[in-house]
Amino acid sequence: MRRALALLIAVVSLAAPTAAAAQCPRTSVADIEDEVMCPVCGTPLALATEAPQAKQERSFILDLVEDCKSKDEVKAALVAEFGEDVLAVPGDDGFDRAAVLVPGLGLLVALAGITAATVRWRRRPRPDGGAGSGGSAAALGGSDSARLDADLKRYDL
Amino acid sequence: MNRLLSPLPVVVMVGVVALLGLLAYGVVAKSPDRGIEAALASGETPPAPDIRLPRLGSDGEGSLADYRGKVVVLNYWASWCEPCRAESPLLQRWHERLEPRGATVLGVDVLDATPDAQKFIDEFDLSYPMLKDGDGDTQKDFGVAAYPETVVIDRRGRLRAIERGPVDDAFFERHVVPLLEEPA
């Protein structure tokens, strides 16, 4: 009976931390540090390894992770401490707009360039005055054309 | 010449110019403002921007306007800043000397985690009032770019001196003590 009781206590004491860990949201400093900024360094926290503020911020996150906070809760705590700019997503005012505007502008410029190039290519003057692949053969001189015919014959199966 | 005026080169050139303009704007916008130094150097005493921030270690907000009539030594610091550690005992010593004469040191803890800031205050037994600027928003008003930085404001709320780096006894003797004799 005593042995059974001891065994039961051992099983319960082993299972208790596991159950607590299962309830604890699974996040880590590594999981969060690429989604938040080191405000003083001006880079994502993951890239700021040695800066004193980055070390402090990591320690702050670690304390919250050890307190079983979820990723969203940790981010909310960071925002409460350091403001919205701590999140590594561009804002929608001032220079931050460039993060959206520049790729958009680049895409528009690329599309305009491709459109203009396509229009010019389609409107280019053709030597035979028409379309089709025969035009390029007709543009060859007499000797080149004869050599091309001879080469093609060699590959006839 | 006609080739240059065709749509493709024009679009590319406009794109390049726009990108360069954006880059220039970014560089200028992120550069610290050194207008205060320029104004003080030319003998001007511009009014101090009024900042309003949460109090560190207690509820509510505080602002520079709360200290109108006093000489204010506004000190930007953070607990992770090594030079701030060396400077804090000196600020506390001067605060104790200045307070009976109508002056105060006012700390602004910037971009700092509150528990660490509180530990710092306890470690150095700092008794002067503290505000918390979590996102560093008010730094722009004073062109703060590194820590510590200290601004001296006279009894009439005008900027009188600025130090980009740790202050020492000579700074207080030269820039703060003379202001104590000025009327509000």
Q: Mutate which of A55, A95, A120 to disrupt the B interface (most B C-beta within 10 Å)?
A: A95
Of A114-118, B48-52, B97-101, B157-161, which gets the smallest average pLDDT? Answer: A114-118
* Interface contact A39-B135, CB threshold 8 A: yes
What confidence score (pLDDT) does residue A92 get? 65
Domain-located, residue A146:
no
For A80, residues 6+ apart whose C-beta sits below 8 A from its C-beta are B134
A95 and A79 share a domain? Answer: no
Domain range enclosing A112: 90-121
Q: Does B59 touch chain A (CB under 8 A)?
A: no
Query: Is residue A34 domain-resident?
Result: yes
In a domain, A116, yes or no: yes
Radius of gyration from C-alpha coordinates of chain A: 34
ipTM of the complex: 0.74
Average pLDDT, chain B: 91
B146 has a pLDDT exceeding 70: yes
pLDDT at B24 over 50: yes
- Looking at beta carbons, which residues of chain A come within 8 Å of B31? none
Residue B114 forms contact with A (CB below 8 Å): yes
Cβ contacts of A57 on chain B, cutoff 8 Å: 113
**Among partner residues A81, A105, A112, which is closest to B134 by beta-carbon distance?**
A81
| Residues A96 and A58 placed together within one structural domain of the fold | no
Which 8-state DSSP code applies to residue B47?
B
Please check whether residues A85 and A105 belong to one and the same domain.
no
CATH number at residue A55: 1.10.8
Who wins on pLDDT, B26 or B150?
B150
Kindly indicate the confidence band of residue B23, based on its pLDDT and cuts at 50, 70 and 90: confident
Q: Please write the tens of the pLDDT for every residue from A81-129.
A: 999 989 987 666 666 677 778 888 888 888 988 888 888 888 877 766 5
Residues A29 and A42 both lie in one domain: yes
Closest CA to A129 of A141, A138, A117, A120: A138
Q: How far apart are CA B65 and CA A136, in angstroms?
A: 82
Token representation of residue A154: 């060699």
pTM above threshold 0.80: no
Within a domain: residue A144?
A: no
> Are A96 and A116 contained in the same domain?
yes
Give the separation between CA B169 and CA A33, rounded to whole angstroms: 41
Give the confidence band of A139 by pLDDT, cuts at 50, 70, 90: low
Report, as an integer, the average pLDDT of A48-66.
92
- Fold classification of B35-181 is Glutaredoxin (3.40.30)
Sorted by where each begins, the domain ranges of chain B are 1-31, 35-181
User: Which residue from A minimizes the CA distance to B15?
Assistant: A109
Instruction: Sort B170 into a burial class: Cβ within 10 Å, 0-12 / 13-18 / 19+.
Output: exposed
Contact by Cβ (8 Å): B116, B80: yes
In chain A, the number of structural domains is 2
